[in-house]
Structure 1
């Protein structure tokens, strides 16, 4: 259990860290417990988007005491209050959500048995089927699309033209309408493109795990994640040093021109547990300046003092890799050293141009090379200002199994969501859950703060 107090440091790197009373006034900060759930263990747990009025929309699931997952799609007010909720009592998971240029919500996930949203119904006689639902801001379902064939959906993104890109895993056959993909492998990843109205355009195999998707103003999609041994999409193939070596990738995809480009990143690390490295692209920001910034795990730089024996947990460097629109790597910056690898990381830019990274550290972390002591397993948020200088480090007080899973920024400020156990404290606000697990909503600051 984490015993640290809530700390917020404005980082004056030439001086000693000093504690600030708060990051924002109490009226600008909201922390609420949204839903109680059983233990969370999924890599793809929740996703969130914001509208212009500061409302948040959340795609997630609630694990029942029986072990069954139930869908949960929610709208939260800027105060963290539940406005509406869909999916109660329905077996499955809502895993990702995106918002169209016209304000529609597109939610994806998977279900078992029967799914009913807004009077529309889908059925899965056996196994899990993928769903794609279009909702309005009031929670009315205006379209519900289901897959034929087993599958799990994990990521969705709507670009500036309304095109919808879907990612997940499939069995040997997957179809949406008349568009079908057959594979020899028992399970593999896929990408599927839909029109703005939800009509399927194509389904293609993808050898790699996608962690996050985004797009630029022209509608080009960008995907980051990881692969081992080989990555293949379209005519492009990347290779690692072997089946036990994982590297990160950044894929640029113009739906009208196949693959635009794909890039690989990673270090040759020290062999532990039979794995050389566990590197991955985790999240990304696409900037109007034609820059794509990827938050990634990289294997720590070798010091010559590494121990080759087993260790309890994998430690990594949390780095930012900046690419231009043609895929040229402009720079690689190690931002936070000594973080726990293998756990989700959130990366978001606020209205002031500050870039926030949320992750987990153990015992200590080193933001920009400076050691900061932590608890045994500590959530942290680290921000740099628009010029790249250290700005803020937040170490909230929390119980075990607490993690930020998704983040977004808008006029209402920064919104983080994830799961906690027992308690979580942000400033003077504290939520508790009688020792159980819960899903939290945390908004801090205003859009111009």
Structure 2
């Protein structure tokens, strides 16, 4: 352990985090209780029942550089942080749902939004997506050209700037939208599974050539631009690749599995997908079966060919690659962790594992225990090989609170 920070949020949402090009650590979260992350109390409305919004920046050593808190408008929709990314210039891009947040003269309009913040945390660009129904931003990734790609899901109709897209009656559709450095839409894509169908995009990663990789789950019948996928499961994991211009390159699903792809990462000639499943799927000629939900990690070539897969008795929640191409995976387990070199019974809790990209073999695994439930939300690796993990812990002791499922956040930084 290099350092850790606790975030007493009192909210049901886990924090997001990302490493900036200079090694700084950015974190975004919602909070329902008075909060101080080291620079003094953040703005807080004791009367409001809505969650507040916090964005903070720490040095590589964990020292706070700045922190900003936004107060919600009373009566606004439930706020959440959907994704956080840092572009090549060090600007932070934040996506999610705003509760009409206000900070001094700055305002984030109510509803789905994406905002660009300067390296000092000043809001420079804000835009929304007009329409009806619900829209959830699930992930944000820098595109390497100063802009970002957002993915998520929506119901009803939404104007993404280049087109108005529809989810269909009773259905939920996935979307991807690429924005330039000023927040203007370059292009958008939508994928629906017809009436009562579901498609959701939960993760996005951009490779060195600008290829965009999206992972999530679907139910019903859907085409991402190639063959039509059909499942009778409640949700089946998928991954797809788009060109920098948004054209379909390839798409794959995990036929026979019921579950969700939660994370995607890219390396040299590799695309890695992590998630949870039950049932059975075949990958590279090998069967993977789970009676109850467990994790999977699969590797494709840049062209979409199957390379290898692992399944294990743990969740696969967050995934990252580093400059050497190695994988870092984070999740939770119930005591039967199978990822470490010395497999065996270990206390249930959070784990972080470093894996080889060639076959998924484990280099090391680190476990952390907690009296209650734990969740890994995001993992990043800086140029020096340090691993940053963000997540949430249920409160160990029962406390009187008017909020459902209160959790507190954490940041961990591990040495290489």
TM-score when normalising by structure 2: 0.79
Work out the CA distance in 2 between the residues paired with 1:236 and 1:258: 14
- Cα distance change of structure 1 residues 374 and 300 upon mapping to structure 2, 3 Å threshold: farther
1:279 paired to 2:251: no
1:420 paired to 2:390: no
Q: Which ranges in structure 1 are unaligned for 5 or more consecutive residues?
A: 1-23, 269-276, 309-313, 424-434
User: What is residue 195 of structure 1 aligned with on the other side?
Assistant: 180
User: What is residue 403 of structure 1 aligned with on the other side?
Assistant: 375
Q: Is the 8 A contact 2:162 2:188 kept in 1?
A: no
Moved more, 221-230 or 161-170: 161-170
Work out the CA distance in 2 between the residues paired with 1:394 and 1:80: 20
Work out the CA distance in 2 between the residues paired with 1:231 and 1:106: 30
1:265 paired to 2:254: yes
1:153 paired to 2:137: yes
- Cα distance change of structure 1 residues 300 and 69 upon mapping to structure 2, 3 Å threshold: same
Report the secondary structure of 2:144's partner residue.
Answer: coil
Shift in Å, 1:359 = 1.6
Work out the CA distance in 2 between the residues paired with 1:379 and 1:409: 17
Q: Is the 8 A contact 1:118 1:142 kept in 2?
A: no
1:52 paired to 2:36: no
Work out the CA distance in 2 between the residues paired with 1:295 and 1:251: 13
- Of the three residues 234, 245, 263, the one matched with 1:256 is 245
Q: Is the 8 A contact 2:15 2:392 kept in 1?
A: no
1:246 paired to 2:219: no
Shift in Å, 1:436 = 7.2
Shift in Å, 1:382 = 2.5
Work out the CA distance in 2 between the residues paired with 1:182 and 1:382: 40
Q: Which ranges in structure 2 are unaligned for 5 or more consecutive residues?
A: 34-45, 74-78, 193-198, 282-288, 397-404
User: What is residue 372 of structure 1 aligned with on the other side?
Assistant: 344
- Of the three residues 125, 138, 142, the one matched with 2:124 is 142
Q: Is the 8 A contact 1:149 1:171 kept in 2?
A: no
- 1:67-97 superposed Cα distances (whole Å, 9 cap, x missing partner): 5222222212223343322343226222211
Work out the CA distance in 2 between the residues paired with 1:95 and 1:223: 15
- Of the three residues 370, 386, 409, the one matched with 1:439 is 409
- Cα distance change of structure 1 residues 226 and 411 upon mapping to structure 2, 3 Å threshold: same
Q: How many residue pairs were aligned?
A: 372
User: What is residue 19 of structure 1 aligned with on the other side?
Assistant: none
- Cα distance change of structure 1 residues 79 and 237 upon mapping to structure 2, 3 Å threshold: same
Report the secondary structure of 2:145's partner residue.
Answer: coil
Shift in Å, 1:365 = 2.5
User: What is residue 40 of structure 2 aligned with on the other side?
Assistant: none
User: What is residue 223 of structure 2 aligned with on the other side?
Assistant: 232
Shift in Å, 1:38 = 2.2
Q: Is the 8 A contact 1:253 1:261 kept in 2?
A: yes
- Of the three residues 291, 311, 318, the one matched with 2:270 is 291
CA RMSD of aligned residues (A): 3.1
Q: Is the 8 A contact 2:85 2:140 kept in 1?
A: yes
User: What is residue 286 of structure 2 aligned with on the other side?
Assistant: none
- Work out which structure has the larger RCO, using CA pairs closer than 8 Å and 6 or more positions apart in sequence: 1
Q: Is the 8 A contact 1:279 1:296 kept in 2?
A: yes
TM-score when normalising by structure 1: 0.74
Work out the CA distance in 2 between the residues paired with 1:104 and 1:54: 13
Q: Is the 8 A contact 2:226 2:250 kept in 1?
A: no
User: What is residue 165 of structure 2 aligned with on the other side?
Assistant: 181
Highest CA radius of gyration, 1 or 2?
1
- Cα distance change of structure 1 residues 228 and 144 upon mapping to structure 2, 3 Å threshold: same
Report the secondary structure of 1:396's partner residue.
Answer: strand
- Of the three residues 312, 332, 335, the one matched with 1:360 is 332
User: What is residue 77 of structure 1 aligned with on the other side?
Assistant: 59
- The within-5 A match list for 1:76-115 is 76-90=58-72, 92-112=79-99, 114-115=100-101
Work out the CA distance in 2 between the residues paired with 1:262 and 1:205: 14
User: What is residue 305 of structure 2 aligned with on the other side?
Assistant: 328
User: What is residue 363 of structure 2 aligned with on the other side?
Assistant: 391
